[in-house]
Every structure is written in structure tokens, then in C-alpha cells.
Amino acid sequence: MIHTVAETGRGRPTMNDVAAAAGVALKTVSRVVNEERGVNEATAERVRQAIALLGYRRNDGARVLRRGRTASIGLVIEDVADPFYSLLSRAVEDVALGNGSLVFTGSSGEDSLRERELVLAFCARRVDGLIIVPAGDDHGYLVPELAAGIRAVFADRPAGPGLDVDTVLCDNTGGARAGTAHLAAHGHRRIAFLGDNPAIFTAEERLRGYREALASAGLAYDAALVAMGTPQQERLHADLARLLALPDPPTALFTGNGRTTVTALRALEALDARPTAAGGIAIVGFDDFELADMLSPAVTVVAQDPANLGRTAAELLFRRLSGETGPAERLRLPTRLIARGSGELPPP
Amino acid sequence: MIHTVAETGRGRPTMNDVAAAAGVALKTVSRVVNEERGVNEATAERVRQAIALLGYRRNDGARVLRRGRTASIGLVIEDVADPFYSLLSRAVEDVALGNGSLVFTGSSGEDSLRERELVLAFCARRVDGLIIVPAGDDHGYLVPELAAGIRAVFADRPAGPGLDVDTVLCDNTGGARAGTAHLAAHGHRRIAFLGDNPAIFTAEERLRGYREALASAGLAYDAALVAMGTPQQERLHADLARLLALPDPPTALFTGNGRTTVTALRALEALDARPTAAGGIAIVGFDDFELADMLSPAVTVVAQDPANLGRTAAELLFRRLSGETGPAERLRLPTRLIARGSGELPPP
DNA sequence: GGCGCGGCTGACAACGTTGTCAGGTCTCAC
DNA sequence: GTGAGACCTGACAACGTTGTCAGCCGCGCC
């Protein structure tokens, strides 16, 4: 039988309230809530009724305090609004949910200070683990956290020096090499490179791949054909205007990430120099993007698989959380060249 | 002076450990950590040194248990990987961070059961508030949570019946009306409608707008010109093939959301019926999308502002959390028609 | 009748923090 | 010399849960 209970007014009911309502001890409620065996079915039913009556829900914060594990992880990326990271996020979420874990998400906005704040805030909430796409390259602040048992996996970019931690990267150099070589194989000898800020690990690796491909093709590296920086419309417009005005202008363009590719296409349009099916400057871009196949010409890309990146990192994290030991892993995920037209245009 | 302390081995240092190391009482450490005034500067400095030495970080879980507020909110959307929701997410994140709050994110995948699980899991963590893009239309499970003081704001779609809660919606009907009227104004009399599953609130509202615009233009509603369902490639391909094979086929197409627009464009391409600058079926799509302006012809859209939606919902939530009372608000955000070419093609 | 055992229940401490309250020391004015 | 007040510090309970341990009851067996 259910005893009515004087509602204490404000605030949520606790196990104590449920216990009082059901006429049992606190601990019995705990057992029912956690579906432990050894509770008489009639008693359990009375407790369940009291729970429903009061709208009780277990306070996981208190539970965590008692047990240690929070069943939550933190994900720090550059920007959820960027398709690359949103695909990565979704994959991380799915793996986490499959492991009974919730996900704190935060965008650093390529600001190492904000990255640090987010990570430490997550650590203060005692997340079990972290997946980090770092913005900065000093992660000393993580040392005490790792020592305290929080596991971290770095994704897309490695941790700063001195941190021996699991890392999942993309084959940036190989991908850029393949993309650049593809252009060279189609007869281009003046290939420009538009990349992100060279302080960013991936941008620098991709530049390296570009240079290696040039060398393999017997082409000289010409600094005048390289422009790097944040992919803003105005900057790219100016860079491309400069490149096209060179006495010996490039006949092909390798762009270092998705945002740069799209922005460059817009800038070329504004400069009246966008490739057409009939011809024009050839383009290969790092990163696939939505509708690349619907432009004319369709855009040839070196595709990464951001979902795979997120999934791999998350699975690695959960393997660690379930006790897997061993030295820090450092994985490289492959890229794939998708020829669609813009990278197969011949030089004039 | 710092006393050395016997490291207890596993686990993180607590305030107690710091207190022992600094030779002060637990409460003094608490005061220093929380930057309360009234602590002698020399003492405080000793405590800070002990904190640094031990790598101490406050356990926010315990703090929350004591204080009641968690400084975290939960965000449930359909899919972070969808650009619409990823823009919304970013806006929510930014507002939350500005209010000193962290964000749990979860994708329901348009599954009402998963929505419920996510929301209740967030509630068990005692988030202060929720922003929900609902997948289902029964939110009875939220009643006890709301009664217990968790604030919720529904975004993009309303809560199920019986729940009187803050809601931020888009002007779906008005937008669809404007888009359809735009096509009619350009001379089209056979306008097809491709929408999402009509069980989804926004899809149904947009269909209504489409019908209203037809009526205003003196055009008859023809069920044969309407196809609704999940925007999968095969389904849309079949629907469009059927439409184009009609004895009196449509000369224009209104598509009910971003995913549908993009998928329909691909299907038209496969059917060799994609519009060109020279002519073809006219298209207006609900939702703007990246590169809509770079296709040929560029795609005319009825644009929502997902970031604005997220920001508005989050700001409303935080106003509630900071004590604003009053009846539940129900906001409607405007849409904007952006003419780019595909919607201005004349009928043949 | 006594003993052991399985099944069920409850009392109590502990998790790491903060709010409350009390106490101690010092300074200053009377 | 004493009281008032400012300043600093600490003891203790409480937040809501779970782990540990002990106890009760009824049963079957010696």
C-alpha cells in the first residue's frame, strides 16, 4: 500500500522521499532503482509505484560522486558548424551512446585558450575521457588530468610535445601528394597551393605533400605559387588575383581544405576565372564536400572520412576506458582521390 | 611552507589533500578555490602552491550536489551532421558558454524513443535546462521534470499537446507560401511539392503554405503533384520520374527542406531533367544551403536562419534560468526569399 | 530443539564539496 | 583594562547516492 507523503514543496523527490512513500528503507529504493536482485517482488512493485507517483528520477550526480565513473565524455572540436566536424561529432556521439555515455561538446573556434578552458571544465565535471581536436600546441595543462586517470584521444591533429597520448590522424601528406601528382599527371607544370594557416598541423603536412609531389614530378617549388592563411573571402580573392596576374600564372590549383576550396571557387567566380566544362584553371581540393559533384565542372577532391575519424577515435577511447593498456597508439587514416572533372582539365 | 604529503596513490587529490599539504583546514581551501574574500594573502598563496603541486582540480559534481545548479544544459536535435542543426548547435553552444554553462549534445535521429532517452538522461544529470527539437509528439515524460524545475525550450517544432512551454518556431507556412507564390508569379500553373514525412510538424506546415499560395493564385490543388516522405535518393528519384511522366507534368518544383532540395537536384540530374541556364523545370527550395549560389542555375531558396533559431532559443532559456517568469512564449522567426535563378525560370 | 542457510531488509559510513556558525586574534577607542 | 568590531580560520552538517555489514525470518536437517 502506498502511504501518501507530505510534499515538501520545492525541489525534486529523493530516494528518501520515495522510501517514506513506499514505507521501506532508503537502501531498498536504491536496490529497486538499480534493478539489483534480492528484493521481494511485492516490495519492489510498491517502490515502483511510489517512484511513478512522485515523479522520482535518480540524481546521477550523487551517484557519480559515490561510484567514480561519470559515463560521460568531452568532445572539443574547432567548430560544430563546419561539416567536417559535425560529421565527426555525430560519429563520436553514436559510439558514446552505444557505450552508455553522454557527450559534452564544445567548439574552440581555433582558439587555444578556449580549448584549454573547455577541456578543463570538462575535467572538472570528471568526464571519463576526452576527444580533442587541438587548437593550440601546448597541452601541458593536461598532464595532471591524465595522471589522475582521465583518458584522452587526439583527433585530426596531434598533441603538443611531451604528451604521449593516443592519436588518430589523417594521411595529410599522402593525400596532398596524390592530389598534386594527379594534376601533374594531367600535364600541369605551374600548380598553385592555397592552404590554411601554416601554424595548423594539417595545413603544414599538406604543404609538405604538395612539395614532395612537385619534387617527384621534377617540378621546381615556387614560393610565389603558395598562399596560406585563414580561408576568408577577401584574402583568398586577393591571393588568387595576384596568382592570376603573374607573368607565368598557374594552370592548376591545389586547395588545402574544404573551406578553402569552396571559398576559392567563389573567388574565382568573382574574378571571372572559374573553370567551366570548356576549360580553365584545374582544381583539386583536399576534403570532399556536399555538392562537389553537382558543380560544373564537378570538383575533384582528396576525400577524408570525418565520420571514420570520429568513430575510430571514440572506439579507441572506449577501449582504453574499458581497461585496454599498451603504448599510445598513433593511427593514420587513408584518403581517397575522387576524380570528378575539375582536376582532369588539361593546361591550356 | 609546504608540507609534503603521502600520495595516496590512485585517484585525484581532494580539497582534504590540499588542506593537509598546505597545513590549513578544508574550508580554507574551499575559500581559496572559490576566490572568496577574507583569506589572508599568505595563506591563500600557500594553498595555491599546494594546489599546483598536487594538480588539484575541483570536483564540480560534488559542488553541484551541494549547490543545486549544474551550470549545464542539454541540447537534443535530430542530427548534428545536418548543416541546419550544426549551425543551430553552434549558436546554442556560444550562448551557453557566454552564460558559463556547458552543453550536452545528443542526436535523436528522428526517433522519438531516443529523444526521450536522451532527455531523461540529461535530466538525471540534472541539467539546468533543455533545448529540444522534438522527434515525437508526446512529451508527457517531461511533466515531472518541468514540475521539478528543469526549464525547457522547444525549437523548430512545438511540444506535444498538453505541454505549455516556451517555443521558438520558424514561419514555415509563410515561407512556403512565399516560395510557391514566387513560382506562380513567374507564370507557373503546375507546381509540384516535394516534402518531408508529413508527420513532421514543419513538413505539414509547409504543405499548408503551399496550398494557401495555390489558392491565392487561383490554382487548383492536385494531389498527384504532391509527394512526401523521408528524402532518400531512391524515393525522390521514383517520385520525380512519376511526376515528369504525367500527361500534364509540373513546370515548377517547390521542395520542403534543404535535404530534399539537394536530393531532388541529384535525382533530376540522373533523370536528365536538371534545369540549366537555358531552361527546364523551375525550383524553389525551403532552406538555404551551402553552394546553392554556385550551381547553375543558382538555386532560389526560402532561407531560414538556423543560427538565429538556436541563439533565440538559448537566450530565452537563460532568461528563464535567471528567473524571468511569465507565460510560455511562442516565437515565430521570419524567412527570407533569396532569388538566384532557378526559381525565376519561365514555364516552357 | 538447535543450527545453518538463503532470502530479504535496513542502519550507517562514505563520496567531495559548500553553507552556517562559532571562535580566535588583533586593533582601536573609550 | 575592556568592549566593539574587523579579520581570519575551522568544525560540522548537509547534498543524494551506493557499498558494507549486520540482522531478521522461515525453512530444512541433524
Q: Is A113 on the interface with B (CB under 8 A)?
A: no
Least CB-CB distance to B61: which of A94, A122, A125? A125
pLDDT for res B239: 96
Residue type, B3: H
Q: What tens digit of pLDDT does each residue of B208-219 get?
A: 999 999 999 999
CA→C1' distance for B38 and D2 (Å): 27
Which A positions 218-247 lie with beta carbon below 8 A of chain B? none
Q: How far is CA B258 from each of CA A87, B84, B292, rounded to the nearest angstrom?
A: 17, 8, 10
Closest C1' nucleotide to B31's CA: C18
Count of residues in chain B: 348
- Interface touch A124/B65, C-beta < 8 Å: no
Domain with CATH 3.40.50.2300 in chain A: 69-170+306-334, 172-304
Complete DSSP assignment for A275-309: -BTTB--EEEEES--TTTTTSSSBPEEEE--HHHH
Cβ A95 vs Cβ A88: under 8 Å: no
What does the buried/exposed string (b/e) look like for A110-131 if buried means 16 or more CB atoms within 10 Å of the residue's CB? beeebbbbbbbbbbbbbbbbbb
CB neighbourhood size of A220 (10 A)? 8
Q: Whose CB is within 7 A of strand D? A: A 11-12, 14-16, 26-27, 30, 33-34, 56, 58-59, 62-63, 65-67; B 24-28, 31, 37-40, 43-44, 62, 65-66
Distance from chain centroid for Cα B146: 20
Rounded to whole angstroms, how far apart are CA atoms B5 and B17?
8
A59: which chain B residues are within 8 Å (Cβ-Cβ)? 65, 124, 126
Rounded to whole angstroms, how far apart are CA atoms A272 and B223?
44
**How far off is chain B from A323, nearest CA to CA, in Å?**
15
Q: Is A6 on the interface with B (CB under 8 A)?
A: no
Domain with CATH 1.10.260.40 in chain A: 15-58
- Interface touch B104/A104, C-beta < 8 Å: yes
B269: which chain A residues are within 8 Å (Cβ-Cβ)? 294
Q: What tens digit of pLDDT does each residue of A300-334 get?
A: 999 999 999 999 999 999 999 998 999 999 999 99
pLDDT for res A273: 85
Instruction: Band the pLDDT of B3: cuts 50, 70, 90.
Output: very low
Q: What tens digit of pLDDT does each residue of A121-160 get?
A: 999 999 999 999 999 999 999 999 999 889 999 999 999 9
pLDDT for res A280: 86
Distance from chain centroid for Cα B295: 26
CA nearest B198: which of B234, B223, B233? B223
pLDDT for res A69: 87
Q: What tens digit of pLDDT does each residue of B85-142 get?
A: 999 999 999 999 999 999 999 999 999 999 999 999 999 999 999 999 999 999 999 9
Phi-psi region of B99 (alpha: psi -120 to 50; beta: other; left: phi over 0): alpha
- Interface touch A104/B106, C-beta < 8 Å: no
Find which of B82, B122, B291 to mutate to test the A interface (most A CBs within 10 Å of its CB). B291
- Interface touch B121/A102, C-beta < 8 Å: yes
How many A-B residue pairs are in contact by the CB < 8 A criterion? 161
Closest C1' nucleotide to B56's CA: C16
pLDDT of A196 strictly over 60: yes
Cell numbers describing residue B330: 511562442
A67 touches strand C (CB under 7 A): no
**How far off is chain B from A290, nearest CA to CA, in Å?**
8
Instruction: Band the pLDDT of B68: cuts 50, 70, 90.
Output: confident
Cell numbers describing residue B135: 522527434
Cβ A207 vs Cβ A173: under 8 Å: no
- Interface touch B104/A72, C-beta < 8 Å: yes
pLDDT of B44 strictly over 90: yes
Rounded to whole angstroms, how far apart are CA atoms B84 and B81?
9
What does the buried/exposed string (b/e) look like for B241-272 if buried means 16 or more CB atoms within 10 Å of the residue's CB? eebeeeeeebbbbbbbbbbbbbbbbbbbeeee
- Domain A69-170+306-334 class in CATH: alpha beta
- Beta-carbon-side half-sphere exposure of residue A35 (alpha carbons within 13 Å): 0
Instruction: Band the pLDDT of B11: cuts 50, 70, 90.
Output: confident
- Interface touch B122/A102, C-beta < 8 Å: yes
pLDDT for res A279: 78
Minimum CA–CA partner of B69 in chain A: A61
- Interface touch A107/B93, C-beta < 8 Å: yes
Which B positions 131-170 lie with beta carbon below 8 A of chain A? 143-145, 147-149
Which B positions 309-348 lie with beta carbon below 8 A of chain A? none
CB neighbourhood size of A222 (10 A)? 15
CB neighbourhood size of A319 (10 A)? 17
pLDDT for res A218: 97
Rounded to whole angstroms, how far apart are CA atoms A309 and A88?
7
**How far off is chain B from A30, nearest CA to CA, in Å?**
15
Complete DSSP assignment for B209-253: HHHHHHHHTTPPP-GGGEEES---HHHHHHHHHHHHTSSS--SEE
pLDDT for res A231: 92
B148: which chain A residues are within 8 Å (Cβ-Cβ)? 11-12, 55, 57
A94: which chain B residues are within 8 Å (Cβ-Cβ)? 107
B293: which chain A residues are within 8 Å (Cβ-Cβ)? 266
* Bridge partners for B331 per DSSP: B168
Pairing of strands A151-155, A166-170: parallel
Instruction: Band the pLDDT of B6: cuts 50, 70, 90.
Output: very low
pLDDT for res B296: 87
Instruction: Band the pLDDT of A7: cuts 50, 70, 90.
Output: very low
Nearest-CA residue to the C1' of C14?
Answer: A66
Q: What tens digit of pLDDT does each residue of B245-279 get?
A: 999 999 999 999 999 999 999 999 999 888 877 77
Strand C neighbours among B 7-26, CB < 7 A: 11-12, 14-16, 26
The bases of strand D with some atom under 7 A from any protein CB are 7-12, 14-20
CA→C1' distance for B237 and C15 (Å): 59
pLDDT of A337 strictly over 90: yes
Residue type, A110: E
Q: Residue range B51-73: average pLDDT?
A: 93
B61: which chain A residues are within 8 Å (Cβ-Cβ)? 61, 64-65, 70, 125-126
Which CATH number fits the domain A15-58, given the four candidates 1.10.260.40, 3.40.50.300, 3.40.640.10, 3.90.1170.50? 1.10.260.40
CA→C1' distance for B126 and C12 (Å): 27
What's domain B172-305's superfamily in CATH?
Response regulator (3.40.50.2300)
Q: Residue range A219-236: average pLDDT?
A: 96
pLDDT for res A9: 44
Mean of the per-residue pLDDT values for chain A?
Answer: 93
Which A positions 268-287 lie with beta carbon below 8 A of chain B? 269
pLDDT for res A38: 85
Instruction: Band the pLDDT of A95: cuts 50, 70, 90.
Output: very high
Count of residues in chain A: 348
Q: Is B294 on the interface with A (CB under 8 A)?
A: yes
What is the SS3 assignment for B341? strand
pLDDT of A10 strictly over 60: no
- Interface touch B265/A294, C-beta < 8 Å: yes
Residue type, B222: D
Strand C neighbours among B 15-74, CB < 7 A: 15-16, 26-27, 30, 33-34, 56, 58-59, 62-63, 65-67
Q: What is the CA radius of gyration of chain B?
A: 27
Which CATH number fits the domain B69-170+306-332, given the four candidates 3.30.1490.20, 3.40.190.10, 3.40.50.2300, 3.40.50.300? 3.40.50.2300
- Interface touch B291/A262, C-beta < 8 Å: yes
Which CATH number fits the domain A172-304, given the four candidates 3.40.50.2300, 1.10.150.240, 3.90.226.30, 3.40.50.300? 3.40.50.2300
The bases of strand C with some atom under 7 A from any protein CB are 7-12, 14-20
pLDDT of A6 strictly over 80: no
